[in-house]
Amino acid sequence: MPTLKFAVLAGDGIGPEVMTEALRVLAHVARQENLRLEPTAAEVGGIAIDRHGRALPDSTLRTCEAADAILFGSVGGPKWEKLPPKEQPERAALLPLRQHFTLFANLRPGLLYRELADASPLKSERIPDGIDVLCIRELTGGIYFGRPKETTTLADGDLQAVDTMVYRRSEIERITGIAITAARSRRRKLCSVDKANVLETSVLWRKTVTAYVAQHAPDLELSHLYVDNAAMQLVRNPNQFDVLFTENMFGDILSDEMACVCGSLGMLASASLGAGKNSLGLPFGLYEPAGGTAPDIAGRGVANPCAQILSAALMLRYSFGLEKPAARIEAAVKQAVTGGARTADIAFGQKAVGTAAMADAVIAHLSAD
C-alpha cells in the first residue's frame, strides 16, 4: 500500500479549520484508493512565534525535511502585525521555506466554474464558460532574494534602500521547463510575461524563454507580453491565456489579480514545486490555498475549505504521482459547488453552508462516483 508522508502546517486564522476538512477528505480518498496517510503536524507562523519565538522553528523544518510534501494552511494575522517586517509570519515562515527547499515553481490555477460566474468582478458575458488560466510564478529568484538588499545612510544623511533583481539563465530555463510541461497537458499555449523594454533581467528572460521553447517545445504556441499589458489583458479577457508564466514579483502581482478575476479566494489552490526530489523521486512541494488567514471569519466555522481541499489534490498529483485520486477530488469539489453546496463567500443569496458541511458535500460526491 503506498504511504503518503506529508507535513501538515495548518498555521493561523482559518488555516486549522480548513486543514481539518482537507484531511478528512484525504482520509476518505485514502480509504477508497487503498493509500496509507502519514501526516505529521508542526507549528508555523504566528502560533509558532507565540510558542517557540520564531515563525519557522527548527523542529518544523525538520518535520518538513522528513516528509515527501508539505500541506500548508495559512500564516499571519493582526496579532503579529506590529512585529518588525522581517519577523512577521508571512515573511519569516514562507520565504525561508521557499528558499530552504528551492521551491522555484509556483503554480496557481485560476479556475472559475461557469456556474460561479457571478463571483467574478467581470461581467458574466465576458466569461460565458468561466475561467481557466494557469499562472506559473518563478518563486526563488528575482528581487525577492537578490543581494544586496539593505538600507543605508548616505554621506549627506539621506537614507537609501536597495533591492536587487537578479536572474540566471539556468533559473529561467528551469521555470520555462515547468511551463512547457504544464502547457502540454492543457491548451498548449504559453505566454511569458516580462518587462524587456526596461529591465536587463527581462531581456535575458525573453531571450532565454524564446531559445528554450524553440529547442524543447516548438510544437507549443509561445507569446510574450510586457507586464503592464498583461495586467490589462487579464481583466479584459482572461481566457486568452492558457499558461501564463513570469518572474517572482510580476507573478506575485499578476496572480493576485487573476485570483480576484476568478472570484472567490476560497476556491484557489496552489502548488510550489521544488528543485529537489522526494523519497519517491517526485518533486518535493508545498501546497497551500491562495486565500490567506481571513482573520475576520476565523474560528466561526464558515470559511470555504475548497482551496485547501484542492491544494491537497495538487499534492497527490505532483508529489505523490496520484493523478486519479487528485482528479477525483477536483471533480467532487466541482460537483459539490455546482450542485449547490456553497459557503458564504460563493453563496450569492443562496443558503450558505459551513466549513464542515461543505467538506461533507465533497465527500458525498466522492462516495457517489
Residue 156: active-site member: no
**Can you tell me which residue has the cell 509558532?**
48
| Residues 96, 343: Cα–Cα separation, whole Å | 33
CA dist 121 to 97, 116, 117, 125, 261, Å?
A: 33, 11, 9, 12, 6
**Stretch of 151-159, 225-233, 252-260, 345-353 lying at the interface with Mg ion (CB under 5 A):** 252-260
94 binds, among ligand IPM, Mg ion, none (CB under 5 to 8 A by kind): ligand IPM
Among the listed residues 207, 219, 228, 277, the single catalytic one is 228
Q: Could you write out the DSSP letters of every residue in 212-243?
A: HHHHH-TTSEEEEEEHHHHHHHHHH-GGG-SE
Q: Is 67 helix (H, G, I), strand (E, B) or coil?
A: coil
Among the listed residues 163, 189, 252, 360, the single catalytic one is 252
Applying CB under 6 A, does 298 fall inside the site for ligand IPM? Answer: no
Q: Is 177 helix (H, G, I), strand (E, B) or coil?
A: helix
Residue 68: active-site member: no
71 close to 65: Cβ distance less than 8 angstroms: no
CA dist 294 to 10, 29, 239, 297, 356, Å?
A: 13, 27, 28, 6, 17
Q: Which is nearer to ligand IPM, 93 or 341 (CB)?
A: 93
24 binds, among ligand IPM, Mg ion, none (CB under 5 to 8 A by kind): none
Among the listed residues 79, 189, 256, 360, the single catalytic one is 256
Applying CB under 6 A, does 91 fall inside the site for ligand IPM? Answer: yes
91 binds, among Mg ion, ligand IPM, none (CB under 5 to 8 A by kind): ligand IPM
Q: Which residue is nearest to ligand IPM (CB)?
A: 90
Q: What values do phi and psi take at 302, rounded to 5?
A: -115, -5
Residue 256: active-site member: yes
Q: Which is nearer to ligand IPM, 85 or 157 (CB)?
A: 85
Site residues for ligand IPM, 199-258, by CB under 6 A, read 252
Residue 228: active-site member: yes
Q: Which is nearer to ligand IPM, 95 or 211 (CB)?
A: 95
Task: Read off the C-alpha cell for 300.
Answer: 466561526
* Total interface residues for ligand IPM by CB under 6 A: 5
Q: Which is nearer to ligand IPM, 73 or 325 (CB)?
A: 73
Q: Which is nearer to ligand IPM, 15 or 354 (CB)?
A: 15
| Residues 65, 316: Cα–Cα separation, whole Å | 18
113 close to 130: Cβ distance less than 8 angstroms: yes
The residues binding ligand IPM (CB under 6 A) are 90-91, 94-95, 252
Residues noted as catalytic: 144, 195, 228, 252, 256
